[in-house]
């Protein structure tokens, strides 16, 4: 049988492109999951590996969908080769259980791991540079400015939370949190 495996790293990413590629390869069964590749805990992938039998083929769209590191990739591929299971990485081709096939696979795995590491390094460098800015705030940007929140809090003196929400567009829950913060700041002064 021909089994396909598709994976994305976050719940916000889409599996559809990979699944369509695997369908075009005529995979009999496709496993997919949204799980970071840096984790060994990929339950559907582990289930798939356990199901594969001699003569089966495992198809993945790219090498980085297959393993979390070069060492992990080599261990998985060796296990599959020992069980006479073929591996087809669509952007590389069929990985053959020959000295040349294993060498090429090892080199490509090392490059995939290197690329992943470089992305992480560039992301960390970008964060360090951004943190030098005194206005830097990690996470989602605030929807309302401090001035807008203060204005809404002043409106609460004469209006209900619902009325202030209607006037400013600031939700009741945000107003409640802001008021609690305001009171806490007053107490610590």
Summarised one tens digit per residue, pLDDT across range 83-99 is 999 999 998 888 888 88
Tokens, residue 119: 């992305």
Q: Report helix angle 172-188 to 161-168, nearest 10.
A: 110
Active-site annotation, residues: 9
Residue 72 has pLDDT above 90, yes or no: no
Average pLDDT of the segment spanning 35-51: 80
Q: Do 4 and 25 form a contact (C-beta atoms < 8 A)?
A: yes
Please state the pTM of the whole predicted model: 0.62
Tokens, residue 114: 């290197």
CA gap 81, 62 in Å, rounded = 18
Q: Do 30 and 4 form a contact (C-beta atoms < 8 A)?
A: yes
CA gap 147, 157 in Å, rounded = 16
**pLDDT for res 88:** 93
């Amino acid at each position: 049988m021909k089994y396909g495996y598709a994976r994305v790293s976050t719940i916000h990413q889409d599996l559809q492109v990979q699944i369509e590629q695997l369908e075009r390869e005529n995979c009999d069964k496709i496993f997919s999951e949204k799980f970071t590749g840096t984790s060994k805990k990929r339950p559907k992938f582990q289930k798939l590996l356990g199901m594969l039998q001699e003569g089966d083929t495992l198809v993945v769209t790219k090498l980085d969908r297959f393993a979390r590191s070069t060492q992990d990739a080599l261990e998985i591929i060796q296990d599959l080769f020992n069980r006479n299971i073929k591996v087809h990485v669509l952007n590389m081709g069929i990985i053959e259980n020959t000295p040349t096939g294993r060498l090429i696979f090892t080199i490509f795995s090392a490059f995939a791991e290197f690329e992943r590491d470089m992305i992480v390094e560039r992301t960390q460098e970008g964060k360090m540079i951004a943190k030098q800015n005194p206005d830097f705030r990690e996470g989602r940007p605030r929807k309302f400015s401090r001035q807008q929140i203060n204005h809404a809090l002043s409106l609460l003196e004469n209006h209900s939370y619902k009325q202030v929400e209607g006037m400013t567009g600031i939700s009741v829950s945000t107003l409640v949190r802001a008021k609690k913060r305001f009171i806490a700041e007053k107490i610590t002064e």
